Amino acid sequence: MNPDGSGQVPLTDNDADDVAPVWSPDGTRIVFESDRDDPRPRLCFPRCNYNLYLMNADGSHQRRLTDLPGAEWHASWSPDGQSLVFTVGDIGSATAGIYRMDIESGGMQPLLVDDFFNNGADWSPDGSRIAFNSDRDGDLDIYVMDADGSNVRQIADTGLDDYFPDWSPDGLRLTFFACRFPAIRQDIYVVNANGSGLVDLTHTPGIVDEDPLWVAGGSQILFQSDRDGNFEIYIMNADGSGARNLSQDPGPDYWPDWWTPPPATQIAFVTDRDRHTQVYLMNGDGSAQRPLLASNYDDYAPSWSPDGTQLAFYRHFSWQSWAIMLSDADGGNLRQLTGEADGLTCSFGPLWSPDGTQIAFIVEPDPRPTCEIKHTEIAVMDADGGDVRFLTANDSNELVAGWSPDMTRIYFTSDRDGEYQIYVMDADGANPQRLTELTSINSMPSLSPDGRFIAFVSDRDGNDEIYVMDADGAHPT
């Protein structure tokens, strides 16, 4: 079905139970569980001989993937779409193991097979980790292991049985549900990937909320619930607010999975081809070049939101007024985030946080007589322009450059020690540290997507050249 609940179509039609569909990362295939090979299909639950099947996105070319003794269930795709992790267990057994399969060859590899019940594996977005639930410490809790099955560590224990973790798109959080049978208490939780920040999102005694999945770039969570009398597919905001029924059908609806077609690549850039400086958009191949907005002002430094739905940039209203602006990706819904009213007369250089909830930017606190970058500080605000916090307070130029992927640090350039150097500080402005040596001018840092390296410009060999160092400043080359 479509994200608004419309366009519901069946993909399988047989006398068996076909359940738990999961989209491939590219949206062309669906893996699912079926009891069609059990001697008593549809009547065998909860002791069914489930096997994994694969089909095209339109329901065609259905084929069986697994043929192991017992049952196989709960598949999760690798980010590159070439492998699956899934659960293997004997019917009725108290133990189960997690396996990996290569889709093309069909080859299988046990990742975690021991004397415990290991289930619900979910691959992290970067492919380096696998989250799962296990009873290795008594009740079922949430665990994470490396993708090769090593380094198992507990992430969450609600005191109930914890099931089916799902990674957020940025890999920073997990959502899962917790329950205690036979009492009807099933709530949906979120927790940071390091085990901190455990929160119960639903708080619904007597109601079953289960099987949560992150969607919409991490801003919402899809789940199933019987809160309206029978099981339906719901969606809510990532903080638990705004839950609404998507499926709205008298029959029970279960096991949602979400796939969003990747948007056509768009590049935002700045040009003065129309006699003043504007933000333009073009497709990834250079075609369809067009202005983001029709404006008589000069606009600079466009910055895409992580989900690609919004653009932040800064506008020259005059040489005494620069402001951070925000628009939708098509130029609609333009709004001004900073200005004279909040003491941010000269604001520029917006930079989104990895989760899209905050924007870091540069401020000139005393722009008299004009905005000339004589003395600048770094500030952060919520993505709607609220809750502005200054992170630096010096008599120097502080220029924000990038967030760490986990949002705990901000990298920047400063001339606080004389010449421009590269620094890092905590996301609240604490613990600033210089990463480069004072023997040369070092600037324009750019953090690698995985947060391990920094590319930067330095004149250490006599002229400006590009260098790379570790994110802690070590091993510059």
pLDDT the model gives residue 339: 85
pLDDT the model gives residue 263: 56
> In terms of pLDDT, which residue wins out, 72 or 93?
72
Average pLDDT over residues 120-148: 94
Burial 179-188 (b: 16+ CB within 10 A, else e): beeeeeebbb
Q: Which residue has the tokens 């609220």?
A: 386
Q: Measured in whole angstroms, how far is the alpha carbon of residue 66 from the centre of its chain?
A: 30
Two tokens at 274? 């129309």
Phi, psi of 243 (to 5 degrees): -65, 135
- Give 175's pLDDT tier (boundaries 50, 70, 90): very high
Q: Is 106's pLDDT higher than 60?
A: yes
Q: List pLDDT tens digits, range 7-43.
A: 788 999 988 988 889 989 888 899 999 999 888 888 8
Question: Are residues 75 and 54 in contact, defined by beta-carbon separation less than 8 angstroms?
Answer: no
Burial 324-341 (b: 16+ CB within 10 A, else e): bbbbebebeeeeebbbee
- Give 455's pLDDT tier (boundaries 50, 70, 90): very high
Q: What residue type is 389 in one-letter code?
A: R
pTM (whole model) above 0.75 = no
The chain-wide mean pLDDT, for the chain, equals 88
Lowest mean pLDDT among 4-13, 46-55, 113-122, 257-266: 257-266
pLDDT the model gives residue 184: 65
Lowest mean pLDDT among 21-35, 107-121, 268-282, 326-340: 268-282
Phi, psi of 284 (to 5 degrees): -60, -20
The helix or strand, by DSSP H or E, that contains position 23, with its residue range, turns out to be strand 18-23
* The Cα angle at residue 136 between residues 95 and 126, in degrees rounded to 5: 95
